[in-house]
A and B are shown apart, each in its own frame.
Chain A
């Protein structure tokens, strides 16, 4: 199976932060070794990335690249707004 696109992996990692816990997480620093590959869709380069598929060292393993994610709490989507992503929602969506 091919690796998912980077945005799918990032969304999954963000989704792993508990939302309904007794205490609120306000900041998360994640360091994830990722296996990355690139593909071409038309003229565009597409990045595929997933966490290393094994923790065992055996034979020739794909190269892993260290990635670091700094995640912050975003109450009512305000953080997204502050960073310039509070524009109109994609077609078919309304707030």
Chain B
């Protein structure tokens, strides 16, 4: 190997695997025209490298140069595996989609401590906590229990914004229909199935937290309160991991139709929706509840609305 730059073991294995895949692809094509061909069953390399430990704890290989002596020999063997073996030895897709340790607000040192235990995302941290208990995780990682709880809480799905969506059929020419009120949203609709909401003159409808301890709520946390314009039929609930985890939606106990959209879910409240508790069933992540309130008729018309007809 030439060049003085050190590389991580992970990068090197990935590079070799990619090369072997390309070889197999070429063989697969060759098999189309040839009744008999050959396949690589095993491939191994004895690499002469200098093994170094980077400041961040990563093992790095520095290639041995022509005049170097005393290098280490790393024997790397690759063998063929079948689909079942791949599935058995890889993490599930949900674990991959789970927020990374970085997204949980953990600093570099804390991330490294957890990575030593094989934890790379929120799902793995949650799984280990469930299996061994949070005290065990805290003891082996060196992180306080409170810090682990805080990180896990940050990785949970939550609703941050609620956007009202206009009916595609109600769109005026040009595709723009402003909603009145202080929290008005400009809904741009070019294709009926694709709705994009942009805030106009203010943020999306933010939640206003209620005092904790509200009775009758399925989740531990006190529900947030969202106010939406009167006669809103559909709303988009946005927030971290809402899109991937939401299984069902209910308003005052009534099941609602929903579909996933970019960054959240769109919920059809129905024609006769009234104030009530909106619940999102997030499967293993529990239930997120929020109080949904319709603004009274008078409030949904802003006096400065340029679209308002006198």
Binding site for B on A (CB under 8 A): 5-7, 10-11, 14, 17, 19, 24-25, 28, 34, 36-38, 44-47, 60-63, 65-77, 79-80, 82-86, 89-90, 93, 95
Contact yes or no, A83 B39, CB < 8 A: yes
SS of A interface (majority): mixed
Given contacts A68-B42, A74-B27, contact A83 B80 (CB under 8 A): yes
Residues of chain A with a CB closer than 8 A to B81's CB? 83-84
| A-facing residues in B29-55 (Cβ within 8 Å) | 29, 31-32, 34-48
Given contacts A36-B1, A45-B11, A65-B48, contact A75 B35 (CB under 8 A): yes
Residues of chain A with a CB closer than 8 A to B47's CB? 36, 65
Asked if B20 is at the interface (CB within 8 A of a chain A CB), the reply is yes
6 contacts between A and B (CB under 8 A): A10-B23, A38-B15, A68-B45, A74-B31, A82-B80, A83-B41
Contact yes or no, A67 B43, CB < 8 A: yes
**C-alpha gap A28/B65 in the complex (Å):** 31
**C-alpha gap A44/B11 in the complex (Å):** 8
Binding site for A on B (CB under 8 A): 1-3, 7, 11-12, 14-16, 18-20, 22-29, 31-32, 34-48, 63-68, 71, 80-83, 86
Closest chain-B Cβ to A90's Cβ sits at a distance in Å of 7
Residues of chain A with a CB closer than 8 A to B23's CB? 7, 10-11, 14
Residues of chain A with a CB closer than 8 A to B18's CB? 44
**C-alpha gap A47/B104 in the complex (Å):** 35
Closest chain-B Cβ to A68's Cβ sits at a distance in Å of 5
Contact yes or no, B43 A14, CB < 8 A: no
Additional A-B contacts beyond A38-B7, A60-B66, A84-B83 (13; CB < 8 A): A14-B38, A25-B38, A37-B2, A38-B1, A65-B1, A67-B45, A68-B43, A70-B43, A71-B40, A74-B31, A74-B38, A83-B41, A85-B25
Chain A, residue nearest B43 (CB): A69
Given contacts A7-B26, A19-B34, contact A14 B66 (CB under 8 A): no
Given contacts A66-B45, A67-B44, contact A37 B20 (CB under 8 A): no
Closest chain-B Cβ to A89's Cβ sits at a distance in Å of 7
Contact yes or no, A63 B39, CB < 8 A: no
Among the listed B14, B42, B43, which residue makes an inter-chain contact with A45, where contact means beta carbons less than 8 Å apart?
B14
6 nearest A-B pairs in the assembled complex, by CB-CB distance: A77-B31, A83-B80, A70-B42, A7-B22, A6-B19, A45-B15
Residues of chain B with a CB closer than 8 A to A69's CB? 40, 42-43
Residues of chain A with a CB closer than 8 A to B38's CB? 14, 17, 25, 28, 71-74
Contact yes or no, A84 B82, CB < 8 A: yes
Given contacts A63-B64, A82-B82, contact A11 B45 (CB under 8 A): no
Chain A, residue nearest B32 (CB): A95
Closest chain-A Cβ to B51's Cβ sits at a distance in Å of 15
Contact yes or no, B43 A90, CB < 8 A: no
Given contacts A75-B35, A84-B82, contact A11 B26 (CB under 8 A): yes
Given contacts A80-B27, A80-B28, A82-B82, contact A5 B40 (CB under 8 A): no
Contact yes or no, A79 B66, CB < 8 A: no
Residues of chain A with a CB closer than 8 A to B26's CB? 7, 11
Chain B, residue nearest A77 (CB): B31
Residues of chain B with a CB closer than 8 A to A17's CB? 38
Closest chain-A Cβ to B25's Cβ sits at a distance in Å of 7
Identify the interface centre among B12, B25, B31, B44: most chain A CB within 10 Å of its CB.
Answer: B31
Closest chain-A Cβ to B217's Cβ sits at a distance in Å of 46
Closest chain-B Cβ to A6's Cβ sits at a distance in Å of 4
Among the listed B3, B39, B71, which residue makes an inter-chain contact with A79, where contact means beta carbons less than 8 Å apart?
B39
